[in-house]
Amino acid sequence: MEEPIISIRNVYKYYKDDIQALRGVSLDVYKGEVVMIIGPSGSGKSTLLRSINNLEDIDFGEIIVDGLSVKDHKDINKLRMEVGMVFQQFNLFPHLSVLDNVMLAQKIVRKRSQKEAYETAMLLLEKVGIPDKASAYPLQLSGGQQQRVAIARALAMNPKIMLFDEPTSALDPEMIQEVLEVMIQLAKEGMTMVVVSHEMGFARAAADRCILMDEGKIVEEAPKDELFRNPKEERTKLFLSKIL
């Protein structure tokens, strides 16, 4: 059996005032897999995703990403270099041009030369379909364009894994598709992806596995988009009836 690239073992996370965000979550993600996590707000799905690159500290359990533990804070930047993340709010750097957004971390974290970083950046901007916006500033772009830049920025680090935290939730409906297309393309190229999203279209096109989380636990897990089409658990049915 192949080693999982992300191994989540019995993870617990408490917030202040004793709210439990994660209550014993275990999950393996294998190289090239696309795992989709759905669930009501407050179910801990974003917390789980953010634990994978240690934006959240876990209180108990273990997460190993490509051989590195999230608890080993000395190596955390090494781990994060391998794990790209795309946020709901894009979080582009507004004081830098699109090109600089994509180039900065390459230069100062990956230590690439200006030329190499530039070439990588332009290649990726082409890939996400907005090379003509390279010299624009993030806030001159539409939400969909910003999110595509954010994907390019994460990809520029040549990560082994990509995490998506509700990447289309802040977008106007007509812009969702352009972002999903980039994500589906990425999945087809064999990128390992963990996606928190309720976009059924993405599940149908790209997901290898879907997971429903509720109250900090994994409730149901099913291959492809079967979770949407053929839910087994009552909790899943109830949730799907609300979002569909």
User: Cα torsion at 31, 34, 39, 42 (round to 10°)?
Assistant: 50
117 part of the interface to another protein, by CB under 8 A: no
Vertex 105: Cα angle to 119 and 158 (nearest 5): 65
Nearer to another protein, 142 or 177 (CB): 142
| Interface stretch with another protein, choices 23-31, 149-157, 186-194, 233-241 (CB under 8 A) | 149-157
Distance CA 93, CA 110 (A): 18
Q: Which of 10, 59, 67, 109 is close enough to bind another protein by CB under 8 A?
A: 109
55 part of the interface to another protein, by CB under 8 A: yes
In the block, residue with structure tokens 């106007």 = 172
**Least distance CB 77 / another protein (angstroms):** 5
**Least distance CB 139 / another protein (angstroms):** 5
122 part of the interface to another protein, by CB under 8 A: no
**Least distance CB 204 / another protein (angstroms):** 26
Name residues contacting another protein, limited to 176-235 (CB under 8 A).
Answer: none
**Least distance CB 170 / another protein (angstroms):** 6
118 part of the interface to another protein, by CB under 8 A: no
Q: Which residues bind another protein (CB under 8 A)?
A: 53, 55, 77-78, 80-81, 83-85, 87-89, 91-95, 104-105, 108-110, 137, 139-140, 143, 150, 153-154, 157, 170
